[in-house]
Structure 1
Amino acid sequence: MTDLLEELEWRGMVAASTDREALAAHLAQGPVTFYVGFDPTAASLHIGHLVQLMLVRALQERGHHPLLLVGGATGLIGDPKMTGERKMNDERVVAGWVESIKEQVGRYVDLDGPNPARIVNNYDWTSRYNAVEFLRDVGKYFSVNRMLARDVVARRLDSGISYTEFSYVLLQSLDYAELHKQYGCTLQTGAQDQWGNITAGAEFIRRTSGDVVHGLVTPLLTKADGTKYGKTESGTVWVDPDLTSAYAFHQFFLNAEDSKVIDYLKIFSPRSHEEIDELDRQTREEPWRRAAQHALADDITDLVHGSDQRRAAVEAGKALFGRGELADLDVTTVGAVANEIGAISIEGAEMPTVPEAMAMAGVVESKSAGRRAVAEGGAYLNNIKVTDAERRLEPADFLQGRLALLRRGKKTVGGLTPLRSASGPAR
C-alpha cells in the first residue's frame, strides 16, 4: 500500500496542510479521528462537496474514523463570502436542510463497519452557550488583528462585513475544539477556502489545551480558465436527483475539458493509477474518443445516482441522437431530457406540422427552413425520418406523454412538450 498522504497528493486532493511530516506520521500511526463540516445553506449538497466526501472515503478506507459535521448552528450564520453578506435563512428552513444534508452525507460513508462514520450537529453544543460564556471561553483567545488579516475579511472591509459573519471563525474553531474533546478528533479537512478557519481552530486547541492537531485542505474544483467548476447554464450541479437529474449529471461530466478531465478522474474515480494513466494517454493521443470523459461520467454517476440510473442516462444520450431506442426511456429520464434540451411547451388548439414544430423547438430558423429539411431528408421526429411536410404532431408523438423530439440532421436537436393545465394533465 502506498503512503496515504502520497496517494492523496497524487490524486490532487491536497492543496495545503499543517506540518506535512507530522501529519504523515500521525496518519501512519493511526487510526485517526478526523472531521469535515457541511453547512446547510441549501437543501442539497453540490459536486464541490463531493470532493470532501471522496477524501472522507479515502481516509475511512485506510481505517481512520470520520466525523461528518452538519452545521445546524453555523448554517444559521454562514461562512463569509467574497461577494457580500449571506441571506439569513429561517431557523425552521435550516433545520429541514440539516436533516436533508445528514441523509445525503450518510450515503457516501460506511456507518456500520469496523470504523463507522458518525454524523454530528454543532447546534448540540453551540446552543448551550450564552453570549457572555462564548465571549469569555472562546472570544478571549482570538486576536482581532489576525481576524482582520484573513483574506475574505480584508476583501470585505471596504464593502462592509457584519459582526455576525466576522465572528464565524470562532464558531468553527469551537467545533474543532468540541470534537477534539468529545471524540479525540485530531484532523480537520475541508476545501481550500476553509484554510483560515481550520488553522484558527488548531491554534485555539493548542492555546486552550496544549494539544497539537492537524489540518488538510483540498483544492477548489476549477475549469481550465480558473473559474469554478460545477455550474451549468441552468445553475449548480446538485447531488439531489430532484434538482439535477441523472441524465443532466452524466451529461455535465461528459463535457469535461480534455485539459482537466484526468484531474477530475483522480478525485472522483476509484480507478487505479494504471487505468487513469492509460486514459490520460488516450486523451492526449485520441482525444476524439473522449474515453476519459466517458469513464468520469460513468464513475461519478454510479457513485451519486447508482448504476441503474447511469445506464438509463447513457441510453438516453444515445437515443437523443438516433443511436438508441427512445421508446425504452422511462418517464423520469424523458422529463430530464426535455429539461436539458430546453423543450418548449406547445400553445394553441391545433397541433403544429413537423416544419412548424422544428421552428418552434429552435431546430431550424423558420417554418420554410423546416420544410426544406423535410425535402432534403434531414428532418426527424422521435428519430424517425419525416417525409411529409404536412405531417402534424399527434398526442401519441409525445414520449411518455412529455416530449416530442425534433432533430435536424445528426446533431441539432430540440423538443416540444404538451402544454399542461393548472391541474397538471397534458391537453
Structure 2
Amino acid sequence: MINVLDELIERGYIKQYTHEEETRKLLGEKKITFYIGFDPTADSLHVGHFLALMLMAHMQKAGHRPIVLMGGGTAMVGDPTGKTDMRKMLTREEIEHNVQCIKKQMSRFIDFSDGKAILANNADWLMNLNYINFLREVGVHFSVNKMLTAECFKQRMEKGLSFLEFNYMLMQGYDFFELNKKYDCVMELGGDDQWSNMIAGVELIRRKENKPAYAMTCSLLTNSEGKKMGKTENGALWLDPEKTTPYDFYQYWRNVNDSDVGKCLAMLTFLPMDEVKRLSALKDKEINEAKKVLAYEVTKLVHGEEAAKKSAAASEALFGQGSNMENVPMVTITADMANAQILDVLVYTKILPSKGEGRRLIQQGGLTLNDVKVDDFTRVLTSEDFKDGFVMIKKGKKKFYKLSIE
C-alpha cells in the first residue's frame, strides 16, 4: 500500500511533524481521522484555504477521514498569528453568516457523503464553557513561560497582545482534545504558521488522556521570493466568484512567475507528478503552455469545468490567436453613469480599487478604452464609446473588461 505521506512530501506539502516516524507508520498502516480548522472571519475562503483543502483532499483520497472544523467559537476571539494588530471583533450573527457561506464552498473539494467526512463547529463546545472549570481542567496544562516563546505571541509582544487573543492557543488545543474524544481524531493538519497552536493540542491530549496524538504542518504557498501567493491589487484571491471572477482567478495563475509553476502544479492540482515534472521542465516560451495547464486545472477545481473553459477561451481571445470575445468579463453600469468620468465608473464597477490607483495607472500609460490610451484624468464616457453595445477596457497589460449599460 502506498503511504500518502510519500505523495504529500513529493508534492511539497509537508513542512514539519511532531512525531515523524510514528506519523509515517500510522498513515501507512491505518485509516485515521484528522482535522483542519477554518476560522470564518470572512464570507468566502481564499487561496490560502484552498491549499489546506487540497491537502485534506489528498488525505481523503488515500482513505483517511477528514473533519472540517469551522471556528464559530474561536472566531469570536481571533488568532493573533501573523497579525500586527488585534483583529476586528465579529458578532455571532456575522460569524454564523460566514459559516453558512463557507460550508457551500467546502463540498466542491471534500466528499461529505456517507460519513466520509465530518463538518463540525467549535462553537458547539466553546460557547458554553464554564470558565473556572476550563482553567482547572485545561489551563493547568499550559505553561505561560513556554507560550510566550511561541512565534505567534512573540511578534505581538512589543505592540501589545490582548488577553483575549492570548487564550486562542488554549482554545485551539481544546478543539483537538474535544475532537479526539468525540470522533477519535488523532491528527491535526494546518499551515506552518499554526505550529505552536497545533503542538498545544497534541500535548494536551497526551498529558490529559495519556493517548497518542499528532500534528503535521503544510508549507505556506509562497513565491520564489518568499512572499505569500494569492495577493492581488484588490486584496485576497477569493474562491467566491462574486469576489474574484473566474476570469481574474484564471489570469492570476496564467501569469505566475516561471519559477513558481512547478510548485503550484504540484500543490494546487491533482495532475500526476510525472506530468507535473514534464510541464515544470519547459523553458522560455514553452513554459506558457505549463501556465495554461495550471490556470485551467486550478480554475476547474475551484469554479468548475465550464468556467475554466470560458476563462481559457477569453484569455486566448485576448492574448492568443483566438477571436471569440464572448467570455471576456462583462461589467455593467446604469444609464445615468454613461456620461460620467471614466475613473468614477471604473471605481464603481470595482475594476479599479480607487481613483488614486486610476490616476497612477493613467500616468503610466496603462489604461485604454477601445485600444486608445487614456491620458486625461477627467476623460468622460460618451455614447460614441459604446461600439457594438460595450466599451473594451484594458487595465495594464493583461486585464480586459467589457463595459455595458444595463
Q: 1:398 offset after TM fit, Å?
A: 3.0
TM-aligned CA distance change 1:212 to 1:413, over 3 Å:
closer
Partner of 1:298: 296
Preserved contact between residue 280 and residue 287 of structure 2 (Cα < 8 Å):
no
Question: Closer, same or farther in 2 for the Cα pair 1:416/1:3, shift >3 Å?
Answer: closer
Q: Residue by residue, what CA displacement relative to the aligned partner does 1:158-209 show, whole Å, maximum 9, x if unpaired?
A: 1110001011001001100000000000010000001111111000011110
The offset of 1:226, in angstroms, is: 1.0
Contact 2:65/2:117 (<8 A) preserved:
yes
| Contact 1:16-1:218 within 8 A present in 2 as well | yes
Letter in 2 for 1:102: K
Q: Which amino acid aligns with 2:298?
A: I
**What amino acid is aligned across from residue 334 of structure 1 in structure 2?**
M
Selected match of 2:308 from 289, 307, 310: 310
Letter in 2 for 1:90: T
User: Which residue in 1 is equivalent to 2:128?
Assistant: 128
- Aligned to 1:67, the other structure's residue is in SS state strand
Aligned to 2:91: 90
Cα shift at 1:323 = 3.5
Q: How does 1:241-280 map to 2 (within 5 A)?
A: 241-280=241-280
Tell me the CA shift for residue 348 of structure 1: 5.4
In the alignment, what sits opposite 1:218?
A: 218
- Mapped partners of 1:132, 1:10: distance in 2: 46
Aligned 1:346-357 pairs, distance under 5 A? 347=339
Task: Measure, in 2, the Cα distance between the counterparts of 1:292 and 1:327.
Answer: 23
CA contact (8 A) 2:258 2:287 kept: no
Matched, 1:404 2:383: no
Q: CA deviation at 1:139?
A: 1.1
In structure 2, distance between residues paired with 1:202 and 1:85: 26
The CA deviation string for residues 305-330 of structure 1, in whole angstroms up to 9 with x for no partner, is 00101111111112234743455338
Once residues 48 and 326 of structure 1 are traced to their aligned partners in structure 2, the CA distance between those partners, rounded to angstroms, is 33
Inter-partner Cα distance in structure 1 for 2:398 and 2:301: 31
Instruction: Say which of 318, 330, 334 aligns to 1:334.
Output: 330
1:148-227, aligned counterparts within 5 Å? 148-227=148-227
In structure 2, relative to structure 1, the CA distance for the partners of 1:261 and 1:168 (3 Å cut) is same
Q: What is the alpha-carbon distance in structure 1 between the residues aligned to residue 70 and residue 305 of structure 2?
A: 27
1:414/1:170 Cα in 2 relative to 1: closer, same or farther (>3 Å)?
Answer: closer
Structure 2 counterpart of 1:6? 6
Larger CA deviation: 40-49 vs 315-324: 315-324
Could you list the runs of 5+ residues in structure 2 that have no partner in the other structure? 342-358, 373-381
Alpha-carbon deviation of 1:397? 2.6
Counterparts of 2:249 and 2:394 in 1: how far apart (Å)?
Answer: 22
Compared with structure 1, are the counterparts of its residues 413 and 96 closer, same or farther at alpha carbon in structure 2 (3 Å cutoff)?
closer
Q: In 1, distance between residues paired with 2:383 and 2:166?
A: 62
State the Cα distance separating 1:407 from its structure 2 match.
10
In the other structure, the counterpart of 2:377 is none
Does structure 2 retain, via aligned residues, the 8 Å contact 1:363–1:413? Answer: no
The one-letter code matched in structure 1 to 2:52 is Q
- Paired with 1:57 and 1:407, the residues of 2 have a C-alpha distance of 36
Distance, in Å, in 2 between the alignment partners of 1:306 and 1:246 is 9
Question: Could you say if the C-alpha distance between residues 166 and 137 of structure 1 is closer, same or farther in structure 2, counting changes exceeding 3 Å?
Answer: same
CA-based RMSD: 3.0
Tell whether 2:403 aligns with 1:417.
yes
In the TM superposition, residue 28 of structure 1 has moved relative to its aligned partner by 1.4
The reply on whether 1:229 has 2:196 as its aligned counterpart is: no
Distance 1:274 1:322, change over 3 A: closer
Q: Give the structure 1 partner of residue 137 of structure 2.
A: 137
TM-aligned CA deviation for residue 104 of structure 1: 1.5
Q: 1:262 to 1:173 in 2, by over 3 A?
A: same
**Deviation per residue, 1:320-347 (Å, 9 max, x gap):** 34743455338xx323xx99xxxxx753
Q: CA deviation at 1:44?
A: 0.5
* Segment of structure 1 superposing worse, 30-39 or 290-299: 290-299
Partner SS for 1:35: strand
Distance in 2, matches of 1:169 and 1:406, equals 47
> Which residue does the alignment assign to 2:107?
106
8 Å Cα contact 1:72-1:122 kept in structure 2: yes
Q: Is the 8 A contact 2:33 2:65 kept in 1?
A: yes
Partner-residue secondary structure (3-state), 1:290:
helix
Task: Please give the alpha-carbon distance, in whole angstroms, between the structure 1 residues aligned to 2:365 and 2:221.
Answer: 38
Give how far 1:224 is off.
Answer: 1.3
Contact 1:258 1:287 in 2 (8 A): no
Check the 8 A contact 1:397/1:404 in 2, yes or no: no
Q: Which amino acid aligns with 1:278?
A: R
Give the 3 Å change call, closer, same or farther, for CA 234–348 of structure 1 in structure 2.
Answer: closer
The runs of at least 4 aligned residues of structure 1 exceeding 2 Å deviation read 285-289, 318-330, 345-349, 360-366, 391-399, 403-408, 411-418
> 1:2 Cα shift?
3.6
User: Are 1:393 and 2:384 matched, yes or no?
Assistant: yes
- Tell me, in whole angstroms, the C-alpha distance in 2 between the residues paired with 1:187 and 1:274: 29
After TM superposition, give the deviation of residue 392 of structure 1 in Å: 7.4
- Paired residues in the alignment total 375
TM-score calculated relative to the size of structure 2: 0.85
Question: How far apart are the structure 2 equivalents of 1:214 and 1:348?
Answer: 60
**CA displacement, residues 201-228 of structure 1 (integer Å, 9 cap, x when unaligned):** 0000111100111111101111111111
Q: Report how far residue 47 of structure 1 moved.
A: 0.4
Asked if residue 21 in structure 1 is aligned to residue 21 in structure 2, the reply is: yes
Q: If you compute each CA radius of gyration, which structure gives the higher value, 1 or 2?
A: 1
Cα separation, 1, equivalents of 2:145 and 2:320? 63
The separation in 2 between residues aligned to 1:252 and 1:240, in whole angstroms, is 15
In the alignment, is residue 239 of structure 1 matched against residue 225 of structure 2?
Answer: no
